[in-house]
C-alpha cells in the first residue's frame, strides 16, 4: 500500500523553482531516504507535503486522500509527523511539557487516556538523556534532536519525516540512531528521511529518492540508486564520478 504519493509536486518562490514536478511514493512499512546535494530542495519538498509551505503545483496523496495544501495541523491529525533539521523547542518549557503538547494537541487517535504517561513513554523510547524537568533552552543540539523526535512520536503518526536527524553525531551515536530508526519502523511507523550521511542511508533505507536542483533524478532500491552514475555525479561532480561513488564514502557526510 502506498502511504504517500506525490504527483508532479512543485514549489516555487517567486522566480525560483525549488521543487520541480517531483513524482514519488512511499509504501507502508518502508524506510525511504530522500537524498541529494545541499540546496537540492529536500527540506522544501518535505515542507510542501507536510503543509508548512504548500505546493504551487501537483498533488499530495496521503493514505489515499488528496491532502494537497492541507495545513500542518490537518496533516498531523491524519497521521503525518516530523522532526526538524534545526529543532525549535519552546524554550521555557520542560522536556516533558514539550512532548505533552504533542500528545494532547497532535494525537491522531485522540484516545490517549493518560497524556503524561504517554509522553514519558516517548521520552524513554528515544532514550532522552536528561531529566524530564529539564528546561529546553538548556539542552544542546543532540539532546534537542532526541526531544524533537519524542515530540514527533507522541502524536502516534503513521508516517514520520526525519530531517537530518543524524547531523553532528559521533560514530557511536550514529549506531544508536540506526538502531532507534529501525525500532521506530518496528512500531508500525513508516519513515521518509532526509540525510547526508551515506553510512546511515545505506544501512537503514530500503529505497532512495534522489533530487538535484529540485528535480528527481533517481528512485529505486538503495543499492541501485547509490550506484547510479547520475547520482554519483550529483554528489561528487563530473570529474570525480569515475574515482568515487556514494558507497565508497559510506562513512562520510556528503553534500
Q: At 168, is the pLDDT very low, low, confident or very high (cuts 50, 70, 90)?
A: confident
Q: Are 62 and 78 in contact (CB under 8 A)?
A: yes
Specify if 121 maps to a domain.
yes
pLDDT greater than 90 at residue 40: yes
pLDDT greater than 50 at residue 246: no
Taking CA atoms, 22 is separated from 174, 185, 236, in Å, by 30, 25, 22
- Give the three-class secondary structure for 218: strand
Residue 209's DSSP bridge partners are: 34, 219
- Whole-prediction pTM value? 0.89
Q: Are 209 and 32 in contact (CB under 8 A)?
A: yes
Q: Are 201 and 180 in contact (CB under 8 A)?
A: no
Question: What is the rounded distance in angstroms from the CA atom of residue 111 to the CA atom of residue 103?
Answer: 10
For β-strands 57-62 and 2-13, DSSP reports them as antiparallel
Specify if 49 maps to a domain.
yes
Specify if 220 maps to a domain.
yes
Specify if 255 maps to a domain.
no
pLDDT greater than 80 at residue 60: yes
pLDDT at 248: 39
Question: What is the rounded distance in angstroms from the CA atom of residue 251 to the CA atom of residue 71?
Answer: 37
Among the listed residues 167, 170, 171, the one whose alpha carbon sits nearest the alpha carbon of residue 148: 167
Total domains in the chain come to 1
Least confident of 137-141, 203-207, 237-241: 237-241
Least confident of 86-95, 184-193, 211-220: 86-95
- Domain of 89, CATH number, reads 3.40.50.300
For residue 3, give the C-alpha cell: 502511504
Looking at residue 94, what DSSP letter applies?
Answer: B
- pLDDT tens-digit map of 75-133: 999 999 999 988 888 899 999 999 999 999 988 666 778 999 999 999 999 999 999 99
pLDDT greater than 70 at residue 56: yes
Specify if 37 maps to a domain.
yes
In what side-by-side order are the strands of the sheet with 16-27? 16-27, 2-13, 57-62, 65-66
Specify if 33 maps to a domain.
yes
pLDDT at 239: 37
Least confident of 36-40, 42-46, 58-62, 245-249: 245-249
**CB within 8 Å of 26: residues ≥ 6 apart:** 2, 3, 4, 5, 32, 159, 190, 192
Domain that holds residue 232: 2-249
Amino acid at each position: 500500500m502506498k502511504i504517500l504519493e506525490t504527483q508532479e509536486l512543485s514549489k516555487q518562490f517567486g522566480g525560483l523553482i525549488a521543487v520541480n514536478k517531483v513524482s514519488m511514493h512511499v509504501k507502508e512499512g518502508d524506510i525511504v531516504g530522500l537524498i541529494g546535494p545541499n540546496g537540492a530542495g529536500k527540506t522544501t519538498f518535505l515542507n510542501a507535503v507536510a503543509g508548512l509551505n504548500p505546493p504551487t503545483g501537483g498533488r499530495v496523496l496521503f493514505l489515499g486522500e488528496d491532502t494537497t495544501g492541507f495545513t500542518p495541523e490537518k496533516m498531523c491529525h491524519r497521521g503525518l509527523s516530523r522532526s526538524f533539521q534545526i529543532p525549535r523547542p519552546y524554550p521555557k518549557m520542560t522536556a516533558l511539557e514539550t512532548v505533552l503538547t504533542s500528545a494532547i494537541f497532535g494525537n491522531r487517535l485522540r484516545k490517549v487516556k493518560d497524556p503524561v504517561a504517554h509522553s514519558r513513554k516517548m521520552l524513554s523510547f528515544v532514550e532522552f538523556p536528561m531529566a524530564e524537568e529539564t528546561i529546553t533552552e538548556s539542552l544542546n543540539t543532540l539532546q534537542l534532536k532526541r526531544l524533537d523526535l519524542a515530540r514527533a512520536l507522541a502524536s502516534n503518526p503513521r508516517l514520520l519525516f526525519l530531517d537530518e536527524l543524524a547531523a553532528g553525531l559521533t560514530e557511536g551515536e550514529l549506531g544508536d540512531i540506526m538502531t532507534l530508526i529501525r525500532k521506530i519502523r518496528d512500531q508500525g511507523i513508516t519513515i521518509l528521511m532526509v540525510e547526508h550521511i551515506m553510512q546511515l542511508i545505506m544501512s537503514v533505507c530500503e529505497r532512495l529518492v534522489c533530487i538535484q536542483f529540485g528535480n528527481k533524478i533517481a528512485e529505486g532500491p538503495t543499492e541501485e540508486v547509490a550506484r547510479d552514475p547520475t547520482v554519483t555525479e550529483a554528489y561528487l561532480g563530473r570529474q570525480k564520478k569515475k574515482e568515487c561513488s556514494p558507497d565508497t564514502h559510506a562513512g562520510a557526510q556528503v553534500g
